[in-house]
Structure 1
């Protein structure tokens, strides 16, 4: 018997390859999903830390002081005469972070306080009650600026270390 072998068929047609495109698309989708999940997890964790459970603020037992140097010098009118006011201001806080924010916001604080001091009436601030009211208004002004940057008032007191009117 003669070996009846099937003749080998050699074809020049290219071998059909499976496309890798679905695999690449699948990997990209998985990576995007993981990235989005990580982002959402981080943002929820941060939101929970700021809204759900407010982290305890490390307050110092010691009083921290920040003198606003140089002293404020403003002029204002009293009837027909021009008056001058020189005020030395020092801030006090138990929160070191609030002191740092106040240092960084010094130009904004000074602007607000200059506007406040220059709009005073000589007859009102020449007595003790008027100076105390001005001191309270100055503290409110400083707290607004610190609150806007820090999220809490932070400044416990404002002191006039000098107060000279002419």
Structure 2
């Protein structure tokens, strides 16, 4: 009889340990999952901050200012334009610096072929600015593989 009592209590003790062991394992799994979830969330937040932080704007003034002459019916006109390039890409600024003579040649040709009646109003100047930006982007893209220049500003525009 003593043997029967021992055999009955032994399985009961094992049954009590199994739920405890399962509970501990479940807590460990939940804790580990929570850790990895938090780590993943932190990695996504860090990536979002980097994407949300814009790169610094870099400016390149094209000095000296451009001075060109062009005809307006019977008179000779002059145009003086100071140009500044803007980019978020330091490599594009370096390419623009190294190709300054090529960019200046393209812009002088563009500015000297303008009609006074067109560029004497704001819409004409905006169109000229867009054409100048396109010309600069083509030159930079030919050397860098991407346009790189984000904007072109007329910092001075004088017609006489």
Of residues 83, 90, 94, the one that matches 2:84 is 90
Shift of 1:153: 0.2
Matched, 1:81 2:75: yes
Q: Does 1:130 align with 2:124?
A: yes
Equivalence for 1:99: 93
Structure 1 unaligned runs (5+)?
A: 1-59
Structure 1 residue 135: Cα displacement: 0.1
- What's the CA shift for 1:84? 0.0
Equivalent residues in 2 for 1:7-86, closer than 5 Å? 61-86=55-80
Q: Deviations over 1:21-63 (max 9, x none)?
A: xxxxxxxxxxxxxxxxxxxxxxxxxxxxxxxxxxxxxxx7110
TM-superposed deviation, 1:165:
0.1
Match of 1:27 in 2: none
TM-score by length of 1: 0.64
SS at 1:76 equivalent = strand
Give the count of matched residue pairs: 108
1:9-30, CA deviations, whole angstroms, 9 ceiling, x for partnerless residues? xxxxxxxxxxxxxxxxxxxxxx
Partner of 2:110: 116
Distance in 1 of aligned mates of 2:88 and 2:141: 15
Partner of 1:156: 150
So what's the TM-score if we normalise by structure 2?
0.66
1:128 Cα deviation from its structure 2 partner: 0.2
| 1:100 shift after superposition | 0.1
Which of 141, 144, 162 is equivalent to 2:138?
144
Query: Which 4+ residue blocks in structure 1 deviate beyond 2 angstroms?
Result: none
Structure 2 residue matching 1:124: 3-state secondary structure: helix
SS of 2:78's equivalent?
Answer: strand
